[in-house]
């Protein structure tokens, strides 16, 4: 893409500062240089943000994660407490939904047993993409204290579905779940800080 | 409508003990009382059903549990209940062979025995003859083995689990 | 698309006579194991005759975490970490307590006075949080989510007190063999008293929103009524038995610990229906508040843990059973020891296991939406059902 020139000129017939011309005039100029995409939104004119569609869509997705309530055990109580009014996940856009068809975040909270593992997988496959999975609590992360001698426990839900963020805790505090939602927001929008963890 | 708990050595307990010795005869192997007032009866398997009926008719109307303990050469089937009306606590235990022996069911005496016996079958493999619906309760339907036995081998490799 | 709305079906219906199709039958619907109800993974295979439940098969085991097998490979103090989360996690204190009662009987440990009072205080606080969660979840399932938020708000205040004394919000490993592990921080008892009184003071607004609401009355009165004789035949326990009018509570009828020293009533219902069960739970919160106040008044100073308990206790061979009244009914722990440092066999008698076994008897004949309410008032916690 080429850079369009400004037709108008400043005083004495010489062109005004070409770098500031479009801010003064409010004309949208596509820059087209690939390195501009990583600098975040560029204020091109009052009320206009220049950004890739992908970034805006990721912002929208990460700030309206509709959660599929998959509360299995004790962590479900803390998940409900996080959704309740004291720790209010609704201000992050997270709304608990009953149906997997309407949700894009699966919070597996509680122990996954061999009897319930096919249901977790089925619910995961019923969710439309893009979808993310949070393994909440020690049991969903790695099987927790049932790791040894627990013959009926799947040692971590990542044996069944791919997981994006793990939360440790038995059960984790609601603030840990909030931290995890924020971490997931960073992952979805592709911020560089998320990759360091 | 409530009943206090009687002290150990109550008349209800003596009545039950008399009836047990009379009704069971040689099937009653032994009995003893615990410190908190419970009466423990040990019976042979042939007298298990009769003993359960005796308990029911003497006011033991609340079932606590039916379970097994695996003592490696044999299993011990334990049934515990108490009576709301007379406050009597009774524990009935009998020795069962590890494999191949069937135990009569007590589902018609106590409503809760249904699931308790299903769980005992699921975890120990003990078959209750006459049970209306004996199938696995806690473990998945196709599970191999009876987990609470002492010789149960966990067939699942922790590093690479196979489910169903 | 062709307009098929005026097509005549194959079987011509003679005028004036309605012939139902030959293949009409009961509708088999599968609820669960995962469903938006808040009571955990339980599968209800329901046979529906129209809207009414004609038959119900309850399938459990989806939360079976092999408690009894695991415990056979843990030392006696280590088991407490399992009893409070693998079983009924909403009444974790009660579950720890019943195991401690059984193990202390086996080991012959006597618990000091202050520890008994602290145990009673935290257990009754746990009963309040459990009942609040139960009726809040019932509100959520019935379509009153605001009530759920109010109950959780009240529950949060109590849970923060738990956090102050033992560091955990839900699965406290607070009761140990021989007493409790942490003493009350300075000012904690006063804060407990104030918080509990604050919860009780909110009861008029709870009644106004939910319990006196005529919609709730329409939905709950007359649903799943139970007579005392039928309840006893089914082996009902806890609030379900008390709602039928039968006054049976282990804290009064088979007292354990120091419950004989406290004055409190046992609330009973009249008809045993969904409405009565909820009312019984609400009244039990007030009774627990009474017990907490009396315990705070009378708590003595002293040690909180019995002296000279070995780190790895090995009781003599024997067996014992302990029972107590948890918010859901009667729980019990049957411990068999063979002299070693690990329990040889622990059988957990869960309250919800038997409550859920009663579910078909309680719900046949009522509609599907009533079934959700009935499950809510039975208040199963799947950890207790499946262990």
Residue ranges in chain C modelled with pLDDT below 50 = 1, 5, 10-13
Give the Å distances, CA to CA, from C333 to A57, B38, B120, C178, C351: 55, 15, 16, 17, 11
- B139 and A152 within 8 Å at the Cβ level: the answer is yes
Q: Structure tokens of C324?
A: 């107590």
The interface predicted TM-score (ipTM) is: 0.86
Peptide bond into C36 cis (omega under 30): no
Give domain status of residue B36, yes or no: yes
Its pTM stands at 0.86
What pLDDT does A175 receive? Answer: 92
DSSP count for chain A of H helices, then E strands: 7, 7
Q: Which of A111, A115, A146 to mutate to test the interface with B (most CBs of B within 10 A)?
A: A115
- A171 and C169 within 8 Å at the Cβ level: the answer is yes
State which fold the A64-196 domain adopts. Rossmann fold (3.40.50)
Contact C321, B64 (CB under 8 A): yes
DSSP count for chain B of H helices, then E strands: 3, 7
Contact A54, A97 (CB under 8 A): no
CA distance to partner chain A, nearest, from residue B75 (Å): 21
At C290, give phi and psi (nearest 5°).
-60, -45
CA distance to partner chain C, nearest, from residue B2 (Å): 6
Q: Neighbours of C (≥3 Cβ pairs closer than 8 A)?
A: A, B
CA distance to partner chain A, nearest, from residue C260 (Å): 32
Distance CA C144, CA C135 (A): 11
Q: First-to-last CA distance in chain A?
A: 37
Residue A57 forms contact with C (CB below 8 Å)? no
Q: Which of A80, A110, A115 is nearest residue C38 as measured by Cβ atoms?
A: A80
Where are the domains positioned within chain C? 63-349
Could you tell me which chain C residue has the CA closest to the CA of A155?
A: C65
> What average pLDDT is seen over chain C?
88
Per CB-CB distance under 8 Å, the chain C contacts of B60 are none
Sequence-ordered alpha helix ranges (H) in chain B: 11-24, 48-57, 113-124
Q: Structure tokens of C50?
A: 């129209």
Distance CA C375, CA A197 (A): 43
Residue B156 forms contact with A (CB below 8 Å)? yes
Buried-exposed string A102-133: b where 16+ CB fall within 10 A, e elsewhere: ebbbbbbbbbbbbbbbebbeebbeebeeebbb
Distance CA A189, CA C220 (A): 47
What pLDDT does A192 receive? Answer: 52
If residue B75 lies in a helix (H) or strand (E), which one and from where to where? strand B74-82
Distance CA C350, CA C357 (A): 11
The number of folded domains in chain B is: 1
- C232 and B115 within 8 Å at the Cβ level: the answer is no
Q: Which of A70, A84, A115 is nearest residue C152 as measured by Cβ atoms?
A: A84
CA distance to partner chain C, nearest, from residue A150 (Å): 6
Contact B51, B41 (CB under 8 A): yes
Distance CA C41, CA C182 (A): 34
Cα Rg of chain C (Å, integer)? 24
Contact B103, B126 (CB under 8 A): yes
CA distance to partner chain B, nearest, from residue C255 (Å): 9
Give the DSSP per-residue string, C158-209: HHHHHHHHHS-SS----EETTEESSPPPTTHHHHHHHHHHHHHHTHHHHIII
Q: Which of B161, B162, B164 to mutate to test the interface with A (most CBs of A within 10 A)?
A: B161
Helix (H, G, I), strand (E, B) or coil at C349: strand
Give domain status of residue B162, yes or no: no
Contact A65, A127 (CB under 8 A): no
**Torsion sign (Cα): A146, A149, A153, A157:** positive
Where are the domains positioned within chain A? 11-51, 64-196
Give the DSSP per-residue string, C323-338: EEEETTEEEEEEEEE-
How, if at all, do strands A105-109 and A95-97 pair?
Answer: unpaired
Residue B157 forms contact with A (CB below 8 Å)? no
Nearest 10 degrees: Cα torsion B41, B43, B45, B49: -60
Select from C186, C232, A118 the least CA-distant residue to B82. Answer: C232
What pLDDT does A23 receive? Answer: 47
Interface of B with A in 126-155 (CB under 8 A): 138-140, 147, 152, 154
Per CB-CB distance under 8 Å, the chain C contacts of A80 are 38, 152
Q: Neighbours of A (≥3 Cβ pairs closer than 8 A)?
A: B, C
What pLDDT does B160 receive? Answer: 46
Select from C41, B122, B143, C66 the least CA-distant residue to A146. Answer: C66
At C345, give phi and psi (nearest 5°).
-155, 130
Sequence-ordered alpha helix ranges (H) in C300-350: none
- C232 and B84 within 8 Å at the Cβ level: the answer is yes
Residue C127 forms contact with B (CB below 8 Å)? no
Domain that holds residue B20: 11-129
- B158 and A155 within 8 Å at the Cβ level: the answer is yes
- C233 and B64 within 8 Å at the Cβ level: the answer is no
Residue ranges in chain A modelled with pLDDT below 50 = 1-11, 13-15, 21-30, 34-40, 194-197
Helix (H, G, I), strand (E, B) or coil at B15: helix
Q: Which of B140, B152, B158 is nearest residue A114 as measured by Cβ atoms?
A: B140
Residue B111 forms contact with A (CB below 8 Å)? no
Q: Structure tokens of B22?
A: 């009379």
Residue ranges in chain B modelled with pLDDT below 50 = 1-7, 159-164
Per CB-CB distance under 8 Å, the chain A contacts of C65 are 73, 111, 113, 146, 150, 152-153
Give domain status of residue B96, yes or no: yes
C63-349 CATH: 1.10.645.10
Per CB-CB distance under 8 Å, the chain A contacts of C81 are 145
- B63 and C321 within 8 Å at the Cβ level: the answer is no
CATH number at residue B68: 3.30.460.80
């Amino acid at each position: 893409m080429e850079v369009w020139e400004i037709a108008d000129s400043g005083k004495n017939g010489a062109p005004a500062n070409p770098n500031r011309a479009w801010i003064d005039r409010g004309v949208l100029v596509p820059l087209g240089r690939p390195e501009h995409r990583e600098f975040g939104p560029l204020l091109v004119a009052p009320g206009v943000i220049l950004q890739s569609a992908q970034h805006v869509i990721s912002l929208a997705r990460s700030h309206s994660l509709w959660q599929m309530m998959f509360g299995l055990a004790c962590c479900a109580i803390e998940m409900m407490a996080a959704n309740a009014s004291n720790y209010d996940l609704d201000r992050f856009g997270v709304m608990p939904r009953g149906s997997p068809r309407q949700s894009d975040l699966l919070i597996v909270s509680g122990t996954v047993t061999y009897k319930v593992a096919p249901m977790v997988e089925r619910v995961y496959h019923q969710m439309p993409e893009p979808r993310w999975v949070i393994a909440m609590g020690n049991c969903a992360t790695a099987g927790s204290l049932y790791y040894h001698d627990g013959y009926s426990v799947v040692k971590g839900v990542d044996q069944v579905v791919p997981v994006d963020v793990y939360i440790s805790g038995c059960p984790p505090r609601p603030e840990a779940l909030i931290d995890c939602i924020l971490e997931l927001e960073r992952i979805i929008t592709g911020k560089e800080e998320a990759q360091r963890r | 409508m409530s009943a206090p708990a009687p002290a150990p050595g109550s008349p209800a307990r003596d009545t039950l003990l008399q009836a047990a010795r009379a009704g069971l005869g040689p099937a009653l192997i032994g009995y003893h009382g615990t410190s908190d007032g419970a009466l423990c009866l040990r019976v042979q398997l042939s007298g298990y059903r009769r003993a359960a009926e005796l308990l029911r008719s003497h006011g033991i109307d609340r079932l606590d549990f039916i379970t097994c303990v695996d003592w490696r050469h044999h299993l011990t089937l334990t049934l515990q209940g108490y009576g709301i009306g007379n406050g009597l606590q009774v524990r009935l235990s009998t020795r069962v062979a590890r494999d191949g022996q069937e135990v009569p069911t007590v589902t018609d005496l106590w409503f809760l025995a249904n699931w308790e016996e299903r769980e005992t079958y699921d975890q120990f493999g003990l078959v209750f003859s006459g049970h209306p619906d004996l199938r696995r309760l806690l473990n998945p339907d196709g599970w191999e083995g009876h987990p609470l036995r002492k010789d149960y081998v966990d067939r699942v490799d922790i590093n690479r689990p196979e489910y169903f | 698309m062709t307009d098929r709305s005026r097509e005549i079906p194959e079987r011509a219906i003679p005028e004036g006579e309605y012939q139902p199709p030959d293949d009409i039958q009961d509708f088999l619907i599968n609820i669960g194991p995962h469903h938006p109800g808040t009571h955990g993974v339980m599968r209800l295979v329901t046979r529906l005759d129209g809207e009414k439940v004609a038959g119900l098969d309850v399938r459990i085991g989806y939360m079976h975490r092999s408690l009894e097998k695991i415990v056979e490979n843990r030392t006696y103090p280590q088991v407490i970490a399992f009893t409070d989360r693998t079983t009924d996690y909403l009444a974790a204190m009660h579950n720890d307590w019943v195991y401690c009662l059984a193990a202390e009987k086996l080991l012959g440990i006597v618990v000091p006075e202050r520890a008994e009072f602290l145990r009673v205080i935290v257990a009754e606080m746990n009963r309040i949080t459990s009942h609040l969660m139960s009726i809040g979840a019932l509100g959520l399932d019935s379509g009153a989510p605001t009530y759920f938020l109010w109950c959780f708000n009240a529950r949060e205040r109590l849970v923060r007190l738990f956090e102050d004394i033992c560091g955990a919000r839900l699965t406290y490993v607070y009761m140990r063999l021989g007493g409790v592990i942490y003493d009350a921080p300075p000012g904690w008892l006063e804060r407990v008293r104030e918080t509990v009184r604050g919860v009780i003071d909110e009861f008029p607004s709870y009644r106004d929103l939910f319990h006196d609401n005529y919609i709730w009355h329409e939905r709950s009165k007359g649903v799943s009524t139970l007579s005392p004789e039928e309840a006893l035949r089914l082996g009902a326990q806890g609030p379900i038995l008390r709602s039928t009018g039968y006054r049976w509570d282990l804290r009064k009828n088979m007292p354990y610990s120091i419950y004989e020293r406290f004055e409190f009533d046992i609330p009973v219902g009249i008809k045993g229906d969904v409405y009565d069960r909820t009312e019984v739970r609400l009244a039990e919160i007030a009774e627990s508040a009474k017990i907490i106040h009396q315990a705070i008044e009378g708590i003595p100073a002293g040690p909180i843990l019995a002296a000279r308990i070995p780190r790895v206790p090995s009781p003599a061979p024997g067996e014992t059973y302990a029972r107590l009244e948890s918010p859901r009914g009667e729980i019990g722990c049957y411990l068999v020891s063979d002299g070693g440092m690990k329990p040889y066999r622990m059988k957990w008698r869960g309250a919800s296991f038997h409550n859920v076994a009663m579910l078909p008897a309680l719900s046949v004949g009522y509609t599907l939406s009533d079934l959700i309410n009935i499950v809510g008032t039975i208040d199963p916690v799947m950890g207790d059902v499946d262990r």
